[in-house]
Amino acid sequence: MTLHSYRPIRLILAGLILITMTSSARASAQDGPKNLVWISVEDMSSWLGCYGDSTVPTPNVDRLAEEGIRYVNAFATTPVCAPSRSTLITGKWTTELGSMHMRTGKPSGAALSRDPEAYADIPNYEAVPSPEVRCFPELLRAAGRFCTNRSKTDYQFKAPATTWDQTGGKAHWRRRPGGDQPFFAVFNLTVTHESGTFPKRPRQPQVVAPASVTVPPYYPDTPTVRDDIARTYDNIAAMDRQVGRILNELEDAGELENTVVMFFSDHGVGLPRGKRCIYDSGTRIPLIIRWPAAMNRRGIDERVVSFVDFAPTALSICGIRPPAWMSGSAFTGEYVEPGTGLAFIHADRMDAVLDRTRAVTDGRYRYVRNLMPERPRLYNVAYAENIPMMADIHALRASGGATADQWQMVDETKPAEEFYDTASDPHEVKNLIDDPAQTERIASFRSALAAWMQDTGDLGLLPEGDMVRQRLWNGKTAKPTTAPPTLAIEIIGGRRRAVIECQTEGAALGWRFEGEPNWRLVDGPILLPDEGAKIEALAHRIGFTPQTKRWPVDAIDH
């Protein structure tokens, strides 16, 4: 058999300089669909009618699929939210950014209460990409699009304020100035999050009875397990209603047929052995892209796509060539590139619990390399312990009565390697690693995974504290700080213009007049009024502490 070989990360030939965005780039961006909307839902596998699961009605998502393209081999890069978002917003692997651990920054009190020593050698830090990396909405803003995010910015680093025109619970494309500027808008729907099964959370209206759900073979079939599954489906039905409202807003404003809508989830289902696990249940996601009807793009796409491809694809849809530093490839739009045929996946520290797993799939077969086989597959994360079915899983472990299909739930260790064929074993419970018929195929996958880890310089292989101090902080013992922005004056045609710069390589630069709520991108000299105003400047290298500075306009030297 042959296996698509892994294409190494492209060499970075030049840094990104926003002020060199040309008029031709802006024109290209305006030639494609006018707008782009991302509908990102949380903790959800493809439990949808359009993917063959009719347990609950999902008419609005099904409409997107009927009127668009449904991707059947789409994968998260990791089965947990914040590291996934760091890849989505940058187009870089988390193992390149140093954002693979859930989470960077201040640990939760619940995690510390279970293991006070878990973070003893881990400083409070942010991921630090190489200096040319930008959050991709900044590139869309530079090309003239109004960018909004409603509302998570949980990227494992603080996003520079230049990333969005508006972000937060009230951010919306309808608030763009003038009402006709092309836009990119993100809507993050949280109703399907794993916390939706917690006993203290209000329940959504019941759509499905627990007795009617299908229980995967790796779960014990108990009333509590059935109730958690049914409640998850009820939350999916509620999510679908929210999708309908977003589509109605676009239709009512006459924008739906000017807009590409991308619908996806941030990883697999938020139940045990879904979220935080590298199997299909944790990483295969629904992905639907609806194009304007006049473009007549419908059907099913079997190409293997990954979150690392989403940022370059968003740019490609908007008519912007993805920069060479992005690690993925656009799979639709103006700048489509060939794919590798493979999706690479990682799982690392989950809150206070350290683990390290790498995997690769071609959509059918999955090879898993457990770098810490002494740890169980289903480890006890404090947050997930709030899911009621966890008590039944603990009881199953204690009973000694697990079935052959439940070994991943109860075993105290993992095999060093795993291999699955999802065509014959969709729940991935039959490990084929020792099957002689798979020897050649396993060797190919093993080689591809090793090449990916080497080519991306997998930072997750380092002890976390060493990674932070030696690689992210360049041998320092504290988080670096961006140099303050500087301002110089040039006079053109008798008018003063401010030139804002920063000595920190890769710093994003923004400016605004005092009193303005939002930061504008620095894309050239800024025309100054004669008096009576103050100009503010922002400099922020991702992963560094940002700096701002303010100058009274009438006090700036001529």
Q: For every residue of 66-92, which 3-state class applies, written as one string?
A: HCCEEEEEEECCCCCHHHHHHHHHHCC
Closest Cα partner for 556 from 538, 540, 533, 539?
Answer: 533
Which tens digits make up the pLDDT trace of 169-228?
999 999 998 889 999 999 999 999 999 999 999 999 999 999 999 999 999 999 999 999
pLDDT reading at 33 higher than 90? no
Catalytic residue check, 81: yes
How many Cα atoms are found within 13 Å in the side-chain-facing hemisphere of 460? 30
31-40 core/surface letters (b: 16 or more CB in 10 A; e: else): ebbbbbbbbb
Residues 437 and 435: their CA atoms lie apart, in Å, by 5
Q: What mean pLDDT comes out for the span 157-179? A: 95
* Residue 456 to residues 10, 372, 500, Cα–Cα distance (Å): 10, 20, 34
**pLDDT above 60: residue 511:** yes
- Mean pLDDT across 8-34: 41
- 5 or 221: which carries more pLDDT confidence? 221
Q: Is 424 helix (H, G, I), strand (E, B) or coil?
A: coil
Q: Mean pLDDT across the chain, nearest whole number?
A: 92
Cα end-to-end span (Å), the chain: 71
User: Can you spell out the DSSP letters for 88-153?
Assistant: HHHSS-HHHHT--SB--SSPPHHHHHH-TTTTTT--S------TT---HHHHHHHTT-EEEEES--
- Give the Cα separation of 382 and 457 in Å (integer): 31
Q: Which residue has the tokens 């008018």?
A: 495
pLDDT band for position 525 (cuts 50, 70, 90): very high
2 confidence band (pLDDT: 50, 70, 90)? very low
For residue 210, give the amino acid letter: P
Contact 41, 266 (CB under 8 A): yes
- Residue 39: predicted pLDDT: 98
Return the closest-CA partner of residue 105 out of 158, 176, 41: 158
Which of 381, 385, 394 has the alpha carbon at shortest distance from 352? Answer: 381
Asked if 405 and 217 touch (Cβ cutoff 8 Å), the reply is yes
Identify the CA nearest to 508 among candidates 538, 545, 530, 463.
538
Long-range pairs for 70-73: beta carbons < 8 A, 24 or more residues apart: 70/286, 70/287, 70/288, 70/299, 70/300, 70/301, 71/287, 71/288, 71/289, 71/300, 71/301, 71/303, 71/305, 72/300, 72/301, 72/302, 72/363, 73/284, 73/302, 73/303, 73/304, 73/305, 73/343, 73/363
pLDDT attached to residue 106: 82
Confidence at residue 110, expressed as pLDDT on a 0 to 100 scale: 80
- Higher pLDDT, residue 8 or 368: 368
Name the one residue in this structure whose structure tokens are 């490839």.
329
The answer, yes or no, to whether residue 291 has pLDDT greater than 50, is yes
Could you tell me the pTM of the whole model?
A: 0.93
Residue with tokens 């099957």: 435
Going along the chain from its start, the domains and CATH numbers come out as: 29-471 (3.40.720.10), 486-555 (2.60.40)
Q: How many whole angstroms from its chain centre is CA 484? A: 30
Find the catalytic residue in 50, 81, 277, 318: 81
Taking 80 as the threshold, does the pLDDT of residue 30 lie above it?
A: no
Q: Give the CA radius of gyration of the chain.
A: 24
Q: Tell me: the pLDDT tens digits for 476-510?
A: 999 999 999 999 999 888 888 999 999 999 999 99
Distance CA 252, CA 261 (A): 15
pLDDT of residue 77: 98
- Residue 109 — very low, low, confident or very high, per pLDDT cuts 50/70/90? confident
Per residue in 407-456, pLDDT tens?
999 999 999 999 999 999 999 999 999 999 999 999 999 999 999 999 99
| pLDDT score of 117 | 86
* CB contact at 8 A, 133 and 325: yes
Buried b (16+ CB within 10 A) or exposed e, 521-544: bbeebbebeeeeeebbbbbbbbbb
Using a pLDDT cut of 70, give the percent of the chain over it. Answer: 94
Q: HSE on the CB side for 504, CA within 13 Å? A: 22
pLDDT band per the 50, 70, 90 thresholds, residue 133? very high
- The CA–CA distances, whole Å, from 165 to 129, 148, 183, 315, 455 equal 22, 6, 10, 17, 35
Q: Is the dihedral of CA 491, 496, 497, 498 positive or negative?
A: positive
Structure-token match 């502490």, residue found? 545
Q: What 3-state DSSP class applies to 402?
A: coil
- Least trusted range by pLDDT, from 11-25, 150-164, 294-308, 382-396: 11-25
Position 96 pLDDT exceeds 50: yes
Taking a C-beta distance cutoff of 8 angstroms, is the pair 347, 372 a contact?
no
Q: Distance between CA 513 and CA 545 in Å, rounded?
A: 22
pLDDT number for residue 24 = 39
Does residue 556 surpass a pLDDT of 70?
A: no
> Would you call 384 helix, strand, or coil by DSSP?
helix
Integer CA distances (angstroms), 158 to 65, 178, 196, 544, in order? 34, 29, 26, 9
- Residue 443: which residues within 8 A CB-CB, separation 6 or more? none
Give the pLDDT confidence of 350-401 residue by residue, as tens digits: 999 999 999 999 999 999 999 999 999 998 899 999 999 999 999 999 999 9
Tell me: pLDDT of 7 over 50.
no
Q: In this predicted structure, what is the pLDDT of residue 32?
A: 61
pLDDT for 47-74, tens place per residue?
Answer: 999 999 999 999 999 999 999 999 999 9
